[in-house]
Amino acid sequence: MQLPAKLIDYVLTHELAHLYKREHSPGFWTLVGRALQDYRERRDKLDQFGALLRLPGPVGS
């Protein structure tokens, strides 16, 4: 939950689209675009956030 809601929506939409298209083909991006017309902007913003995200280490560390 380290991301703004718009980016969480993008991640969820992206992963749900993989239920229909396993690869990042043009058809996959068309499907994502049907749900989120601004997915390119959100994807770019997520790339910027990527370096700032902290993932937890193994349990007990």
pTM of the model: 0.80
> Which sequence spans correspond to the domains of the chain?
5-50
Structural contact between residues 16 and 22, judged by C-beta atoms closer than 8 angstroms:
no
pLDDT of residue 61: 55
Please say if the pLDDT value at position 58 is more than 90.
no
pLDDT of residue 60: 64
Scan for tokens 């499907």, then name that residue: 31
Q: Which phi and psi angles does 56 have, rounded to 5°? A: -65, 150
**pLDDT-above-70 percentage for the chain:** 93
User: In the structure, what pLDDT confidence band is assigned to residue 57 with cuts at 50, 70 and 90?
Assistant: confident
